[in-house]
Amino acid sequence: MSRRKNRNINTRSGFSAYLRRPAVQLGLVAFIILVIFLIAQGGGGTTATLSAEVNADAAYQMVQDGAFMLDVRTQEEWDEYHAPMATLIPLDQLQARLNELPKDKEVLVVCRSGNRSQEGRDILLAAGFNATSMAGGMKDWYAKGFPVEGAPAQ
């Protein structure tokens, strides 16, 4: 009987013994690495991703909600008419002037009809901004009756 008692004292049993198995330890390490990876990829679940493109109605609501409106048209197009809350950085200057844009806000990129704004949006996305472009451009914005300074040539 004393032999049996010694064997029970020297052997581990239960959960402690289970955790000492190399395969279990490896599995736990792999699980922890997976959790860390998923948190890093998802930004902890706090990052919102915008649609690639929005219509003028959604764009107007974004601006009302505090989005930064970036106009990538030329100075001449801007002088003709523009949204009063927009900031002008022509597309050909955008890459060199990224430091003028807020990293902590959604950026709505607009142009005349929607083509250049897509290119501007892609530049911003590649630089780490949360950006979208407006389909239909300032033509649609004006047609919807949203605020503008000036008027397009008729």
Express the helix, strand and coil content of the chain in percent, nearest 5 each. 55, 15, 30
Query: Could you give the 3-state DSSP secondary structure of residue 137?
Result: helix
* 21 and 80 co-located in one domain: no
Q: Note whether 8 and 70 are same-domain residues.
A: no
Residues 37 and 58 in one domain: no
Same structural domain, 144 and 79: yes
Domain range holding 22? Answer: 2-45
Does one domain contain both 72 and 126? yes
Q: Name the phi and psi angles at 67, rounded to 5.
A: -65, 150
Residue 154 lies in a domain: no
Question: In a structure prediction context, what are the per-residue pLDDT tens digits for the chain, which is 154 residues long?
Answer: 555 555 555 556 677 777 788 888 888 888 888 888 777 766 544 445 678 899 999 999 999 999 999 999 999 999 999 999 999 999 999 999 999 999 999 999 999 998 999 999 999 999 999 999 999 999 999 999 999 999 887 6
- For residue 119 the two structure tokens come to 């290119």
